[in-house]
Structure 1
Amino acid sequence: MSKYDYDLFVIGAGSGGVRAGRMAAQLGKRVAVAEESRPGGTCVVRGCVPKKFMVYGADYGTAIREAVGYGWTVENAKFDWPKLRDAIQSEVSRLSGIYATILEKNGADLIQERAEFVDKHTVRLTKSGREVTAETILIAVGGRPWMPEMKGSEHAIMSDDAFLLDEMPERILIIGGGYIASEFAGIFAGFGVKTVQAYRGTRLLNGFDPEVRDAVNEVQSNNKIDLRFGVSPTEIKKSKGGYIVTFDDGTKIGTDLVFMATGRKPHTSGLGLENAGVEVDKNGAIIVDEYSRTRQDNIFAVGDVTNRMNLTPVAIREGMAFIETRFKDNPIAYDHSDIASAVFTRPPVGVVGLTEPEARREFGEEMTVYTTKFRPMKNVLAGDPQRCFMKLITEGKNERVVGIHIVGDDSAEIIQALGICVKAGLTKADFDRTCAVHPTLAEEIVTLKPREENKTTVVSKG
């Protein structure tokens, strides 16, 4: 008999933790998974899933307004926020239940308590006080929203709160310029809320390709979002009609709701990592090697808590690689390169591979940039001025495709297939040989021409 209670103890029942726990249990390992909230983690409970439903809800409102251009008459249309909110939460509960059932059906114990480290092989369950030992421990607790300290910050909400609002405000001020801020700004504007998005930088989506950032600025403006750049909040004060937010340039904005979307941090505070000798970086992210192992050979970490690439499918793949490494004697380091991702602005962003600045640093002048910007066919009769932007980046004489960036309808769906192309190392010639599907937005990706400036200043094919 093992001297430990479990072969594997997983802290966190999000996508990565549940996948690893299920797979280990299927191998006959004794497994327990502890979760302080609801099974499903950030994505299912308070992230991608409920947020995407809200995006769909906002899109239906736009579709109703634009249907007039296609001959439809829509009378007495109105938006019922409580109805959508409750429907979303019902679906979240259903999905969370599925996560719990998956673990139970495969023989893993689901412990709905917070677990904290006592030592490298022992955790304490904070509700019951029970101590549990395990030969291997996997940390998969994800991240949590973060806001800077300022006077009156207690008056603001964060992303976790946005799904459970009692009512829709007439006005909202969203602080932040990242994907969460930009997505929720599009959602609230789509629900008819007067939306202001304030950001300390000069363009939204820091870290994305510069031309994508410009295109997203246009997307937000087209959605009637009031963008304020170069400002940071210093105080939130409750007023008779809502709140007054003061910024560092002296401006003040009145609003009914303040939404702080200023980032996320790994959820490691109070986890007792110091008791187990597990190291974290300055942001609280657990430091791991390429096999997701911490400095302790029996403790691993996957997902957002490591702050490598904070995407649900990545956490799942890291969890699967952990199982191969730890329990199948088949060390696998998950490859984090060329992973497609999306930002669900309205319309969304889809990207895979390198940005232009990244490609230029890596390949110098041995690169070609192809772009196009056009008004999608659907928008013409709808009277929507929004344009689609596409960008393809290649390197070397063979023009291997190293980056693709799209801002436009269905880009999140399109980029999944294009991610296969980039991962496979296909070339621009492969794209050119592919016949277009007409009339579609996606066909433009196989008919792209070099950006005008590249013809004289960038292209160098030797």
Structure 2
Amino acid sequence: MADYDYDLFTIGAGSGGVRASRVAAAHGARVAVAEEHRIGGTCVIRGCVPKKMLVYGAHFAEDLEDAEQFGWNIEGKSFDWIKLRNAVLNDVTRLEGLYTQTLGNHEVTIFEERAEITGDHEVTLASGRKVTAKYILVATGARPFVPDFPGAEHIITSNEAFHLDALPKRIIIAGGGYIANEFAGIFNEFGSKVTLVNRSDVLLRGYDEALRDRLLQISLMKGIEFKFNTTFKSITKTASGTLQVELDGCDDMEVDAVMFATGRVPNVEGLGLDKVGVELGQRGEIKVDAYSKTSVDYLYAVGDVTDRVQLTPVAIREGQAFADSVFGKGEPYAVDHSCIPSAVFSHPPIAAVGLTESEARNTLGSVRVYQADFRPMKNVLAGRNERSLFKMVCDDSNGRIVGIHMIAPDAAEMMQAAAIAVKAGLTKADFDATTAIHPTMAEELVLMR
């Protein structure tokens, strides 16, 4: 590898790129990484980390109401969006520093500029400097999809939502996926009038139908409006600064902001992939094999840019597997993309792992479903008429658990441990034989009949 400037050159310092770079360096490789924006990528800078902080902030709206039933007298409560926004952005900067420090501690060279592949084993930086590498890893992630229609320049995406100078009094959120539902809950709790507009009549496609229905029911009860089978025709900015939104499928609306959360597209433009013959998929994603190798032998890709599973922990695992397999001393290994747990940080949150009931019936034929439909103890005392739902889907032939789905406060925290059991192939009998922790919501996992 001495014929090259580096053993590995990584384009993109997000979760997958940082993990791959530092692990490769730990294996003894000479590593460089280029990042044109900020170290940390989507998750740390403009994604799951700052969003979860906003979710925490939003929860206080209901917690302060519920506290009165628990004996607390809270007077003069108010919410300061700018204070929360700045606190979140400051913590993002702190985390960016830690990610940068991690790379530095592993002696990874950082180029804070754009990089483009300009030839075999060759990368050209925005400054004009050319460097060579034995292996090149593309980890440039994805970005929010922005549609093309009259007035689209007036919309915001999740990227801009973290930097708003003021909360919109009225906001339309376009989309039906996890980002749309999460921000609908966030803005609603902060006091905005939220309308979620979706081109189909399905929310959270891929999640169990019972959970989707329950979230819709609770969201309506919280005051969020939904417009299904509706598309955008145009957006016009008025003299007063509001937005006049012309819709196909419902009446036109006047709002203060329109946010689009209708999917994410891989960042592949301007990388020079065509110069070396990297094969792309129908959505522009980089096509890779099980070991994250592209159609070019020395070029790999991990994370959202491959559009396999757009989740941060998956990108991290892919980066780890790539670095271990290419630079480690052990046998190469691939990431198992099956049975991946996930969560939607809506209000309340959803968490799931494995097959939905319908998927299990289509795949296995005979299944057995167990449910727990209950009102959490805290909600009872608070007078909050909001019910949680747990579902366990089992293969009827052997009792093996093939899916667990829940919508409940702290669902994601409970799901992490439950996902281990599903991944390990445990059975309903194994859960039944486990003593419950009482009183908790999690005990319903071992009490379902």
Relative to structure 2, which stretch is displaced further, 315-324 or 155-164? 315-324
Q: Tell me which amino acid in the other structure corresponds to 2:80.
A: D
Distance in 1 (alpha carbons) for counterparts of 2:58 and 2:172? 18
2:5 equivalent in structure 1: 5
Distance in 2 (alpha carbons) for counterparts of 1:87 and 1:213? 32
Distance in 1 (alpha carbons) for counterparts of 2:178 and 2:27? 38
Q: Given the alignment of the two structures, is residue 291 of structure 1 paired with residue 301 of structure 2, yes or no?
A: no
2:412 equivalent in structure 1: 412
Q: Aligned ranges for residues 56-455 of structure 1 at < 5 Å?
A: 56-126=56-126, 128-241=127-240, 242-249=242-249, 251-328=251-328, 330-364=331-365, 366-449=366-449
Distance in 1 (alpha carbons) for counterparts of 2:405 and 2:340? 12
Relative to structure 2, which stretch is displaced further, 370-379 or 34-43? 370-379
Q: Tell me which amino acid in the other structure corresponds to 2:216.
A: N
1:454 equivalent in structure 2: none
Distance in 1 (alpha carbons) for counterparts of 2:215 and 2:235? 27
Is the 8 Å Cα contact of residues 7 and 31 (structure 2) preserved in structure 1?
A: yes
Distance in 2 (alpha carbons) for counterparts of 1:227 and 1:357? 25
Is the 8 Å Cα contact of residues 120 and 277 (structure 1) preserved in structure 2?
A: no
Offset at 1:222? 2.7
Distance in 2 (alpha carbons) for counterparts of 1:119 and 1:385? 62
Q: 1:62 to 1:116 in 2, by over 3 A?
A: same
User: In the TM superposition, what whole-angstrom CA distance separates every residue of 1:259-298 from its partner, at most 9, and x where no partner exists?
Assistant: 1111101111221110121111111111000000001111
TM-score (normalizing by structure 2): 0.98
Is the 8 Å Cα contact of residues 7 and 135 (structure 1) preserved in structure 2?
A: yes
User: In the TM superposition, what whole-angstrom CA distance separates every residue of 1:407-441 from its partner, at most 9, and x where no partner exists?
Assistant: 01010000000010001100000011111111111
User: In the TM superposition, what whole-angstrom CA distance separates every residue of 1:339-384 from its partner, at most 9, and x where no partner exists?
Assistant: 11111001101100111121112101x2111122111111112121
Is the 8 Å Cα contact of residues 24 and 324 (structure 2) preserved in structure 1?
A: no
Q: Tell me which amino acid in the other structure corresponds to 1:19.
A: R
**Secondary structure of the residue that 2:185 maps to in structure 1?**
helix
Offset at 1:250? 5.2
Distance in 2 (alpha carbons) for counterparts of 1:23 and 1:249? 51
Distance in 1 (alpha carbons) for counterparts of 2:313 and 2:162? 22
Is the 8 Å Cα contact of residues 368 and 395 (structure 1) preserved in structure 2?
A: yes
Is the 8 Å Cα contact of residues 389 and 406 (structure 1) preserved in structure 2?
A: yes
Distance in 2 (alpha carbons) for counterparts of 1:172 and 1:65? 24
State the Cα RMSD in Å. Answer: 1.1
Offset at 1:225? 0.7
Q: Tell me which amino acid in the other structure corresponds to 1:136.
A: Y
Distance in 2 (alpha carbons) for counterparts of 1:213 and 1:288? 32
Is the 8 Å Cα contact of residues 144 and 158 (structure 2) preserved in structure 1?
A: yes
Q: Tell me which amino acid in the other structure corresponds to 2:61.
A: G
Offset at 1:203? 2.8
Q: Tell me which amino acid in the other structure corresponds to 1:336.
A: H
Is the 8 Å Cα contact of residues 120 and 299 (structure 1) preserved in structure 2?
A: no
Is the 8 Å Cα contact of residues 204 and 216 (structure 1) preserved in structure 2?
A: no
**Secondary structure of the residue that 1:442 maps to in structure 2?**
coil
Is the 8 Å Cα contact of residues 202 and 229 (structure 1) preserved in structure 2?
A: yes
Distance in 2 (alpha carbons) for counterparts of 1:446 and 1:198? 38
Distance in 2 (alpha carbons) for counterparts of 1:58 and 1:301? 36
Q: Tell me which amino acid in the other structure corresponds to 1:353.
A: G
Distance in 2 (alpha carbons) for counterparts of 1:201 and 1:71? 44
**Secondary structure of the residue that 1:144 maps to in structure 2?**
strand
Q: Tell me which amino acid in the other structure corresponds to 1:391.
A: K
Offset at 1:223? 2.3
Is the 8 Å Cα contact of residues 114 and 125 (structure 1) preserved in structure 2?
A: yes
Is the 8 Å Cα contact of residues 122 and 132 (structure 2) preserved in structure 1?
A: yes
Q: 1:120 to 1:251 in 2, by over 3 A?
A: farther
Q: Tell me which amino acid in the other structure corresponds to 1:51.
A: K
Is the 8 Å Cα contact of residues 222 and 385 (structure 1) preserved in structure 2?
A: no
Offset at 1:218? 1.7
Q: What 5-or-longer segments of structure 2 have no aligned partner?
A: none
**Secondary structure of the residue that 2:117 maps to in structure 1?**
strand
Distance in 2 (alpha carbons) for counterparts of 1:151 and 1:250? 18
Q: Tell me which amino acid in the other structure corresponds to 1:87.
A: A
Q: Tell me which amino acid in the other structure corresponds to 1:174.
A: I
Among all aligned residue pairs of Structure 1 and Structure 2, give the percentage whose two residues are the same amino acid.
Answer: 52
Offset at 1:233? 1.1
Distance in 2 (alpha carbons) for counterparts of 1:130 and 1:411? 49
Is the 8 Å Cα contact of residues 203 and 214 (structure 1) preserved in structure 2?
A: no
**Secondary structure of the residue that 2:418 maps to in structure 1?**
helix
Distance in 2 (alpha carbons) for counterparts of 1:25 and 1:36? 21
Q: What 5-or-longer segments of structure 1 have no aligned partner?
A: 450-462
Q: Tell me which amino acid in the other structure corresponds to 2:114.
A: R
Q: Tell me which amino acid in the other structure corresponds to 2:173.
A: I
Relative to structure 2, which stretch is displaced further, 437-446 or 214-223? 214-223
Q: How many aligned positions are there?
A: 447
Distance in 1 (alpha carbons) for counterparts of 2:93 and 2:373? 41
Is the 8 Å Cα contact of residues 120 and 296 (structure 1) preserved in structure 2?
A: no
Distance in 2 (alpha carbons) for counterparts of 1:448 and 1:240? 58
Question: Runs of at least 4 residues of structure 1 off by over 3 A?
Answer: none
Offset at 1:163? 0.1
Offset at 1:302? 0.6
Distance in 2 (alpha carbons) for counterparts of 1:145 and 1:324? 31
Q: Tell me which amino acid in the other structure corresponds to 1:427.
A: T
Distance in 2 (alpha carbons) for counterparts of 1:406 and 1:396? 20
Distance in 2 (alpha carbons) for counterparts of 1:169 and 1:76? 22
Distance in 1 (alpha carbons) for counterparts of 2:317 and 2:129? 31
User: In the TM superposition, what whole-angstrom CA distance separates every residue of 1:102-160 from its partner, at most 9, and x where no partner exists?
Assistant: 1111111011011111123111112x011111110011111101122111000010100
User: In the TM superposition, what whole-angstrom CA distance separates every residue of 1:183-214 from its partner, at most 9, and x where no partner exists?
Assistant: 00000001011111111121310121111211
Q: Tell me which amino acid in the other structure corresponds to 1:331.
A: P
Q: Tell me which amino acid in the other structure corresponds to 1:60.
A: F
Distance in 2 (alpha carbons) for counterparts of 1:147 and 1:69? 44
Distance in 2 (alpha carbons) for counterparts of 1:345 and 1:402? 24
Is the 8 Å Cα contact of residues 143 and 264 (structure 2) preserved in structure 1?
A: yes
Distance in 2 (alpha carbons) for counterparts of 1:201 and 1:374? 30
